[in-house]
Amino acid sequence: MDQAALKQHFEEILPGLTFPENKQYPEVIVPVDKLRAFCDHLKNSQELLFDYLMCLTAVDWNDHFMVVYHLSSTIYHHTVVVKTRIGNRENPAVDTLSDIWKTAEFHEREVYDLFGISFINHPDMKRLFLEDDYGFPLRKDFTDESRMIVK
């Protein structure tokens, strides 16, 4: 499916989505509470069949987090970028997608490890790389005097 068709399709499933400008892939911002249902549809719908979670990450935009999902289909080879915005900086949380795409389980743990975004209903929500009291290094406000050298 091309970009326009995908856009139209998304509109049909969930009205009121925002579609930011992205030259490369179609991009869609989904509200946090609708994310799970939306992704479930993307995975299981026969025309879309986004069965492959390419990349899962988050971006810290100082006032909010953006969790970014790059989805692709191994059959149709079309790609979409799904984003969700988390405003809560103190206790950021989003529904897990690990039962939709198994690989999300580990990517989510990585995101939890580095950003401190916890994923609700994740089967094994613990840190992947770092010690438990390390802090969340990929947050922009992370400082570690002893280990960081600022030029």
Partner 1 sequence: MQDEVVKNIILGEDDNYIINVGPQHPSTHGVLRFEVSLQGETIKKVIPHCGYIHRGIEKMSERLTYPQIIHLTDRMDYLSAHMNNEAVCLCVEKALEVEVPERVLYIRTILNELNRIASHQLWWCAMGMDLGALTTFFYGLRDREKILDIFEESFGTRLIQSVNTPGGLMQDIHPGFQKRITEFIKYFRKKLPEYDQLLTGNVIFRERTEGIAIMTREDAVQYGVTGPSGRASGLSCDIRKIAPYGAYPRVSFKEVLRTEGDTLARYKVRIEEMYESMKILEQLTDNIPLGDYTAKMKAVIRLPAGEFYQRVETARGELGVYIVSDGNKTPYRIKFRAPNFSNLFVISKLAVGYKIADLIAISGSLDLVIPDIDR
- Distance (Å, rounded) from C-alpha 47 to C-alpha 43? 10
Q: Is 29 in the site for partner 1 (CB under 8 A)?
A: no
What is the smallest separation between the CB atom of 12 and partner 1, expressed in angstroms?
25
Among 105, 112, 117, 122, binds partner 1 (CB under 8 A): 105
Q: CB-based contacts of 93: which residues, under 8 Å, 6+ apart?
A: 86, 117, 118, 119, 120
Question: 33 or 121, CB closer to partner 1?
Answer: 121
Question: 35 or 67, CB closer to partner 1?
Answer: 67
Residues between 30 and 69 that touch partner 1 (CB under 8 A) = 51-55, 57, 59-60, 68
Q: Which stretch binds partner 1 (CB under 8 A): 2-10, 30-38, 89-97, 105-113?
A: 105-113
What is the smallest separation between the CB atom of 138 and partner 1, expressed in angstroms?
6
Among 12, 87, 141, 151, binds partner 1 (CB under 8 A): 151
- Distance (Å, rounded) from C-alpha 66 to C-alpha 18? 14
Q: Where are the beta strands (DSSP E) in 15-96?
A: 27-30, 52-60, 65-72, 79-86, 93-95
Alpha helix stretches (DSSP H) within the chain: 3-13, 35-44, 104-115
- Distance (Å, rounded) from C-alpha 82 to C-alpha 106? 18
Binding site for partner 1 (CB under 8 A): 22-25, 51-55, 57, 59-60, 68, 70, 74, 77, 81, 101-103, 105-107, 110, 114, 124, 126-130, 137-138, 142, 150-151
